[in-house]
Amino acid sequence: MTRRPEPGAAGIPVIVVHGLWNRGPESWLLRRRLAARLGRPVVKFRYPSVFRGLDENAARLATFIDSHAPVDLVGYSFGGMVALDALRRLPAGSARRLVLVSSPVRGSAAARSLLRRPRAGRWIVGRSADTLAHGLDAGSPRVADLGVIAGTGGIGVGRALGAMSGAHDGTVQVDETILDGSEKRLILPQTHTGMLFSRQVADAIADFLESGCFPDEGLSPPREPA
């Protein structure tokens, strides 16, 4: 069923925040699909995820949000953690809705596994290492609606490192995406990287940004990775 955009939403831009080791172009297909579906401007926010830490990147994103407010936000992987921290620096109402896509807000087992390799691990994860390893104390996110998408595709760098347990998308475990708050959750059979290219994920994000709920609201039963 096609959902109608809420009155007044037409002029609200959507900001997509990329993940670790990304620069923004990898979200091109996702942004294109969101723009076509929503009929709104969809822009990327670029930040140096390895060479700058959470504090500096969140401050830059807060300034970017403030210049476009009110906005909707989509944070992919570590980008979701940057978005959450940025919103704590802004007054309520700066962002309307936020979708976190496989963001390890409780800390990443894959990152901790990398950091046990002292020579290479901290170089790979960079100045975001401590946040990724230990998670983010997000408090109460300053948005009206918060949605969380997690994956169970089971193929990715975390699995290669032997760091995964339970249901996971290959890089982030489902239980690492859980916030203590009023988030609405959706679990899909997608890999971590595959979420950027999945029409199913794009449609779920668009549904949430339009209506504040996912197409099948609630926690879908996770499947164990093979």
Q: Decide: 83 and 49 in contact? Cβ < 8 Å.
A: no
Better pLDDT: 187 or 144: 187
Question: Does residue 57 sit within a domain?
Answer: yes
Number of structural domains (the chain) is 1
User: Per-residue pLDDT tens for 83-126?
Assistant: 999 999 999 899 999 999 999 999 998 888 877 766 665 656 67
Dihedral angle sign, alpha carbons of residues 196, 188, 130, 97? positive
Pairing of the two strands 14-17 and 71-76: parallel
Check whether 147 has a pLDDT greater than 70: yes
| CATH code for position 160 | 3.40.50.1820
Question: Does residue 153 sit within a domain?
Answer: yes
User: Per-residue pLDDT tens for 33-53?
Assistant: 999 999 999 999 999 987 788
Question: Does residue 221 sit within a domain?
Answer: no
Can you give the pTM of this predicted structure?
A: 0.88
Residue 4 confidence (pLDDT): 46
Residue 75 confidence (pLDDT): 97
Longest dimension (CA), the chain: 53
3-state secondary structure of 96: strand
Residue 217 confidence (pLDDT): 55
Question: Does residue 164 sit within a domain?
Answer: yes
Between CA 174 and CA 22 the distance in angstroms is 21
Range of the domain at 169: 14-211
Please list the residues that pair with 201 across neighbouring strands: none
Average pLDDT over residues 194-215: 95
Check whether 12 has a pLDDT greater than 90: yes
Question: Does residue 222 sit within a domain?
Answer: no
Question: Does residue 218 sit within a domain?
Answer: no
Between CA 3 and CA 39 the distance in angstroms is 13
User: Per-residue pLDDT tens for 50-78?
Assistant: 778 899 999 999 999 999 999 999 999 99
Question: Does residue 226 sit within a domain?
Answer: no
